[in-house]
Structure 1
Amino acid sequence: MKFTNAKCESFNHSWVTIEHCRLRAINRHKTVLNINANFHYPATKIKLRFQVLKKANGYKPWVIDGTIDACAFLQKPNHPVVKIIHNLIKNCSTVNHTCPYIGRQSVKDFDVTPEQIPLPFPSGDYALFLTWIFSDKPQFATNVYFTFTEDLLKQ
């Protein structure tokens, strides 16, 4: 698995500013993701819309599209797909406690290995779109694009 692009956009700069959202190449086969966002006000009612899209003549909706209450999830992780995503980022981010969130939130040197993904994934180009909704208004989006190559010899 290799990250190919990352785009972050704040819809409300008075509440959330994105300081940086970029990929850093470690070597030819490994790229890490770094995101710094600053929350200017406490975020207590957070919803998260997550979509996984697969590239086939443009990015098309794939299997996963949903919305969860992020604060309730952090108190009791009960959504299997979001639990996989949360387990991937919890050790390299500041998003590992319950609500409220205020100040700088970051993801540093995020990388995923195929062993960390418990579901079978076919090879291809994918996009993970996360829209962060505070108090029922979309505040910012993080879109991460990656390529996954299935290793058929490990079966």
Structure 2
Amino acid sequence: MGIRIGQGIDFHQLVTGRDLWIGGIKIEHEKGGLGHSDADVLLHAICDAILGALALGDIGTHFPDTSAEFKDIDSKILLMRSYQLIKTKGYRVVNIDATLLLEKPKIKPYVNAMREVIANILELPVDGVSIKATTMETMGFVGREEGLSAHAVALLETV
């Protein structure tokens, strides 16, 4: 099995008093993600996608929210550790395609920086990381700005 595909999805509530981290970048906003870690919804979805491609479980299996070790951890570390697991299995990431669902803030000004952070961690060229965003047209918890979500797909191949 030389090629594997995985998908990941993550959700976090948006609350005042927390920083907003998306794609490894701190974004100025009046609300941030609520979570045990820094609540970086995009990096969490990517972790699940690459772990899922090799049937290695999910982010909660490897980095449980019941562990003090991961309290307020930078999700870039979680992505690095997830990637190391992939590498020990003899795989590399070919590309990532991700979509963010949020009403505000607009993330277009941050997308290139996010792509660079993720590409650097996963040892990819920047054009190996696609990040898109959409709103929910004011529908549901995302539309009411109560939370945000990310979906990611990862393609892996043997080294």
Verify same fold: TM over 0.5: no
TM-score (norm 2): 0.29
TM-score (norm 1): 0.29
> Bigger radius of gyration, 1 or 2?
1
More strand by share: 1
More helix by share: 2
